Structure formats: structure tokens, C-alpha cells
Amino acid sequence: MRRDIYQAIADPTRRAILSLLLVQAMTPNALAEHFEISRQGVSNHIKILTECELIKQEQQGREIYYSLQINKMKEIDKWLEQFRKTWEIRFNQLDDLLATLKKKKR
């Protein structure tokens, strides 16, 4: 089943895995040490992230290392950009309003 990247990042454990992989590539066992769920549970999250192409696996000897697919993360950033522009406009409007209120108080 092909999954959606937004479905993948909706889960806090998967977001935490992505954050860990942002720092360095890790084995499933190394990832599992950071969570209070079973190794199989972490493997299920890894499977979903791999299906969504947010992470990739690389065999190094007997170990499999997972790393972040930065290019796929850009897809999420592109989608968020539309919201970022709106937030910036609204924050600027709030800054203007606060400055106006501050001047009136004086």
C-alpha cells in the first residue's frame, strides 16, 4: 500500500524518528533504544517512513542503516510555504497593532 507523506508525519513517533535521523543514520536497534515501544513497533514505523520515501535504507556489512531523504522533506516544506506566508502576514499585522496600542498608552 502506497502511503501519503502527511499520513506518515502525523504520528509523533515517526516525527521523532525523522528528528533522530536528521542528526545521523541509525540502525533499527539504535532507533528503538529511544522509544518505550517494542522493536517491532519501531520497525512498523520505519516501514511506513520507507514506503513514503522519507527515509532510505543502506546495507553496511551486516547492519542496515536508515537515513533521512532530505529531498522528500522539501515536498512537505513546499506545502507548508503557503501557510508560512499567511502566518508572517498575520504576525506582522499583530506587531503593527501592538505597536499602535503601545503608542496610545504613552
Span 19-45, pLDDT tens digits: 999 999 999 999 999 999 999 999 999
SS3 57: strand
16, pLDDT greater than 60:
yes
Residue 49 Rama label (left phi>0; alpha psi -120 to 50; beta) = alpha
43 to 11, 14, 53: CA distances (angstroms): 14, 11, 15
The span from the CA of 53 to the CA of 66, in Å, is 11
Residue 18 φ then ψ, to 5°: -60, -40
SS3 69: coil
Mean pLDDT of the chain: 92
Architecture in CATH for domain 1-68: Orthogonal Bundle (1.10)
pLDDT of residue 105: 83
In whole angstroms, what separates CA 79 from the centre of its chain?
13
Side chain identity, residue 73: M
